[in-house]
C-alpha cells in the first residue's frame, strides 16, 4: 500500500477481526466557535477520511460503530492509541469520513 498526499498510517481494529494498517487523512484541527457565538456540539475529537473499500480502507457495510477502533495519535509523530469510531459523518461510494474519539 502506498501513502498518498496528506495521508498517514493508522491501524484499523475491527471487532472480532485482525488489525490492519491503512492510510487516511486525520483532521486534528476541528473548527471552533467564533468569539461570542455558541460552541459547536461535537461528540468526536478527530475526523478521519479514508477509502470506502474493504481491501484498502474500511467498507461502510462492515463498520461497527463504537465497537471498532482506529489507532490515531494526538499529533503527527506521537504514539497512536486505540480510539472508538463514534459516527459516520459523511459517506459516498468511494469515501468515508468518520468521527473518532
What pLDDT score was predicted for residue 33? 65
pLDDT in tens, 10-26: 999 999 999 999 999 99
Residue 53 in any domain: the answer is: yes
What pLDDT score was predicted for residue 93? 95
Q: How many domains does the chain have?
A: 1
Residue 36 in any domain: the answer is: no
| pTM exceeds cut of 0.75 | yes
Ramachandran region of residue 17, left (φ > 0), alpha (ψ -120 to 50) or beta?
beta
Q: What is the mean pLDDT of residues 48-61?
A: 95
Residue 1 in any domain: the answer is: no
User: Is 52 within 8 Å of 58 (Cβ atoms)?
Assistant: yes
Amino acid at each position: 500500500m502506498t501513502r498518498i498526499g496528506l495521508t498517514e498510517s493508522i491501524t484499523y481494529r475491527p471487532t472480532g477481526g485482525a488489525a490492519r494498517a491503512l492510510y487516511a487523512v486525520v483532521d486534528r484541527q476541528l473548527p471552533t466557535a467564533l468569539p461570542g457565538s455558541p460552541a459547536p456540539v461535537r461528540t468526536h475529537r478527530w475526523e478521519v477520511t479514508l477509502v470506502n473499500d474493504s481491501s484498502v480502507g474500511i467498507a461502510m457495510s462492515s463498520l461497527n460503530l463504537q465497537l471498532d477502533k482506529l489507532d490515531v495519535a494526538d499529533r503527527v509523530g506521537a504514539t497512536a492509541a486505540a480510539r472508538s469510531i463514534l459516527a459516520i459523518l459523511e459517506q459516498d461510494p468511494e469515501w468515508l469520513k468518520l468521527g473518532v474519539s
